[in-house]
Amino acid sequence: MSKAFTKEADAPEDEELALPPLPAGGKNYITPQGYARLRAELLDLIDHERPKIVEVVHWAASNGDRSENGDYLYGKKRLREIDRRIRFLTKRLEISEVVDPSLHAGSDQVFFGATVTYVDDLGDERTVTILGIDEADSSQGQVSWISPVARALLRARVGDEVQLPTPGGVRTLEILQLHYPENPAATTPAPKA
């Protein structure tokens, strides 16, 4: 059988959609900065990356035999990856609800976008920022608002103790401090006329 008629054993079509699901009836909360990053990535894929790969695939296809043409095979695979990412980003941005955490600046209650410092019952102190599932990066001390620790912290106030269920048992977290980012519009001087 010709290789041209066999399906590659790639990852499932919507592999990237396997992010943690939103709670039933939940919204896809995201900060304005996170939304801007995802939108910029989408536009870059559509306007720059995809056209370059299409050009390479077109050139490689014009060289004749495609079965052993590395540029063509790699280009087609990369094109599928780009299209998959474009579909994913488009769907996520469509259902996003942008929430500006700076609106809570000065509050002593934990809401979406807060940076919270807490100490657990073992004396370990940690600081996390509660962000959307599409923008949180655990290596940067960021957690998704649907994560267990974020759910335990949300709506609590500075000085409160909250319970965090873990596989090793329930842990007690005491909120030491929290802050929100400042509104960039409020700190930017108005343009002079």
pLDDT reported for residue 14: 47
For residues 123-151, give the mean pLDDT. Answer: 94
pLDDT reported for residue 69: 77
pLDDT reported for residue 177: 94
Convert the pLDDT of each residue in 23-54 to its tens digit: 666 678 999 999 999 999 999 999 999 999 99
Question: Looking at the predicted structure, is the pLDDT value of residue 82 above 70?
Answer: yes
127 phi, psi to nearest 5 deg: -120, 130
Whether residue 112 contacts residue 99, with contact meaning beta carbons closer than 8 Å, is answered with yes
Averaged pLDDT score across all residues of the chain: 84
Instruction: Report the relative pairing of strands 142-144 and 125-131 from DSSP bridges.
Output: parallel
Q: For the chain, give the percent of residues with pLDDT over 70.
A: 81
Question: Looking at the predicted structure, is the pLDDT value of residue 159 above 60?
Answer: yes
pTM, whole model, 2 decimals? 0.76
Question: Looking at the predicted structure, is the pLDDT value of residue 91 above 50?
Answer: yes
CA dihedral 143, 147, 148, 150 (to 10 degrees): 50
DSSP the chain: --GGGS----S-TTGGGGSPPPPTT--EEE-HHHHHHHHHHHHHIIIIIHHHHHHHHHHHHTTS--TT-HHHHHHHHHHHHHHHHHHHHHHHHHTEEE--GGGGTT-SB--TT-EEEEEETTS-EEEEEEE-TTT--GGGTEEETTSHHHHHHTT-BTT-EEEEEETTEEEEEEEEEEE-PPPHHHHSPPPP-
For residues 163-189, give the mean pLDDT. Answer: 82
pLDDT band at 184 (very low <50, low <70, confident <90, very high): low
The dihedral through the CA atoms of 94, 22, 104, 182 has a sign that is negative
